[in-house]
Amino acid sequence: MSFLQDPSFFTMGMWSIGAGALGAAALALLLANTDVFLSKSQKATLEYLEDIDLKTLGKEPRTFKAKELWEKNGAVIMAVRRPGCFLCREEAADLSSLKPKLDELGVPLYAVVKEQIRTEVQDFQPYFKGEIFLDEKKRFYGPQRRKMMFMGFVRLGVWYNFFRARNGGFSGNLEGEGFILGGVFVVGSGKQGILLEHREKEFGDKVNPVSVLEAARKIQPQTSAAKSN
């Protein structure tokens, strides 16, 4: 058992253990930056979205079916992950930059939030130029609700998104639930259907504004849509 008294053998053993741990950590980091462990999204149907209950945020809240938002002129709708998140505020500002062109098309811009905490929605409003509604049952975040937990903080894409938003001058807070991922929808009028469905795959995964505008241009006025059905 003389090898137990050999310092070089002990050093080599510790080095091997360290190298193995480092390799395992590197593999975990590599896998975390692939889509292998990301929550898989299930596409929504028009029937699913139509039946969602939304609530207005005024002094006298009114509950209504979501289809009212797009029934006449279609709509662009942002499902906000967390109003206080600076990444969500950045995406809201991007969508709001489209509002003049959306107004020309007659297409409204809306957002839904999943909770109303203190002044969070009010503080989000300067970044978002459309009306905001409450989705208490979080159905706009389904049909299969997806979460990104702390794995998000080891993804290079998320850190890139962090720096991009910070460099753009956006800031935020940590108020509210922020792990349930959001998205953006462009819905046609009447029964025209879902023209674009962007599901956030990681924190700060923004929709392409060009794609939103292209989808909005495909929205038919309700009269035209009715004739085609």
* CA dist., res. 146 & res. 79, Å (int): 13
Q: What is the pLDDT of residue 34?
A: 58
For 91-143, how does the pLDDT look when each residue is reduced to its tens digit (9 = 90+)? Answer: 999 999 999 999 999 999 999 999 999 999 999 999 999 999 999 999 999 88
* CA dist., res. 200 & res. 181, Å (int): 6
Q: What is the pLDDT of residue 222?
A: 80
- CA 12, distance to chain mean position in Å, is 48
Q: What is the pLDDT of residue 219?
A: 97
Contact criterion met (CB below 8 Å) for 228 and 191? no
Distances (CA, A) of 5 to 2, 11, 12, 13: 5, 11, 13, 13
* CA dist., res. 127 & res. 89, Å (int): 6
* CA dist., res. 229 & res. 227, Å (int): 6
Q: What is the pLDDT of residue 2?
A: 47
Given the residues 76, 79, 88, 212, the one annotated as active site: 88
Q: What is the pLDDT of residue 151?
A: 73
Q: Give yes or no: 179 in active site.
A: no
Q: What is the pLDDT of residue 142?
A: 87
Given the residues 75, 76, 85, 187, the one annotated as active site: 85
Beta bridge partners of 79: 112, 183
**Segments in the chain below pLDDT 70:** 1-39, 152, 223-229
- CA 222, distance to chain mean position in Å, is 28
Structure token pair of residue 36: 């292998």
Q: Are strands 194-199 and 183-187 parallel, antiparallel or unpaired?
A: antiparallel
Contact criterion met (CB below 8 Å) for 163 and 57? no
Distances (CA, A) of 102 to 108, 110, 167, 193, 212: 7, 11, 27, 18, 10
Q: Give yes or no: 177 in active site.
A: no
What value, to the nearest 5°, has the Cα angle with vertex 18 and ends 13 and 24? 130
* CA dist., res. 219 & res. 210, Å (int): 15
